[in-house]
Amino acid sequence: MDGRGYSRVQRADPTSSTTPATTGSEMEKLVLHEDPVSGNCYKIRLVAAHCGLPLERRFYDIMKGETRTPEFLAQVNANGRIPVLQVGDRCLPESGAACFYLADGSQLIPTDRFERADMLRWMFFEQYNHEPNVATLRFWLAFVGEERLSAEQRAMLPIKRKAGEAALDLMEEHLRVRDYFVGGRLTLADVALYAYTHVADAGGFDLSRWPAVQAWCVRIAALPGHVTMNS
């Protein structure tokens, strides 16, 4: 610890072109509204751990609809979903936005303009091509249970499987010649994609089919400051 709460990921050079980071002592109280089994929530805990930022945690059970109550919709997120990062008395839904808030000014966000945009490219890819397939199959198969899926969900299984495999194929191709997604070091792109990839087997994706992705998962888990999903 350096007294400002940043122990693991160095903050970016304040003379660089990025907006200077908010320091730990200036940071308002941070509360994560979450369900611990959610990979989207885990992304935020992983970023906070790498940045050495303390998070208070408030738990909801999405299986019981606890993010759909009138109170939650009115006070936390009108979109009825977690994660939500509460900063002081303001609420910030969407995992990518929350990760960006926490990591702003740290080395988890490249200072190079192209690399910063490239990081966002992978974060958007995660939300559009990866999470709706890889994470949804995990949720349906490991949490809801195949026997309890609706006919519509059952019909979507092969479509989501194919799309999830395509996302993993693209990641495999990219990682075959790289250790990390952008700039040769851990960025929010890796955090966003790691969250649901490392537990993709629960959705029926056998990661041994994607060896570079598997090696990248091992690499990320071995980094100083890493925390596991169930910590």
Ligand X SMILES: N[C@@H](CCC(=O)N[C@@H](CS)C(=O)NCC(=O)O)C(=O)O
Position among 31, 46, 53, 95 found at the interface with ligand X (CB under 6 A): 95
The residue number with the shortest CB distance to ligand X is 81
Asked, as a colleague might, if the bond just before 20 is cis with ω within 30 of 0, I would say no
Classify the C-alpha dihedral 58-224-188-197 as positive or negative: negative
31 φ/ψ angles, rounded to the nearest 5 degrees: -125, 125
Minimum distance from CB of 166 to ligand X (Å)?
A: 20
Alpha-carbon distance 1 to 107, whole Å? 16
- Looking at the Cβ atoms of 81 and 160, the one nearer to ligand X is 81
Instruction: Decide: 107 and 10 in contact? Cβ < 8 Å.
Output: yes
Q: Which amino acid is at 4?
A: R
- Looking at the Cβ atoms of 13 and 61, the one nearer to ligand X is 61
82 is an interface residue for ligand X by CB under 6 A? yes
Position among 5, 36, 52, 80 found at the interface with ligand X (CB under 6 A): 80
Minimum distance from CB of 192 to ligand X (Å)?
A: 8
- Looking at the Cβ atoms of 6 and 194, the one nearer to ligand X is 194
Position among 11, 27, 33, 40 found at the interface with ligand X (CB under 6 A): 40
Position among 22, 23, 94, 104 found at the interface with ligand X (CB under 6 A): 94
Residues pairing with 93 in the sheet:
84
127 is an interface residue for ligand X by CB under 6 A? yes
Structure token digits, residue 27 = 């940071």
113 is an interface residue for ligand X by CB under 6 A? no
Number of residues that bind ligand X (CB under 6 A): 13
Using alpha carbons only, what angle is made at residue 106 by residues 104 and 109, rounded to the nearest 5 degrees?
70
Structure token digits, residue 191 = 């955090």
22 is an interface residue for ligand X by CB under 6 A? no
Alpha-carbon distance 171 to 131, whole Å? 13
Residues 59-78 that bind ligand X (CB under 6 A): 62, 67-68
Alpha-carbon distance 146 to 218, whole Å? 29
Candidates 46-54, 90-98, 144-152, 207-215 — which segment interacts with ligand X by CB under 6 A? 90-98
Contact set with ligand X (CB under 6 A): 38, 40, 62, 67-68, 80-83, 94-96, 127
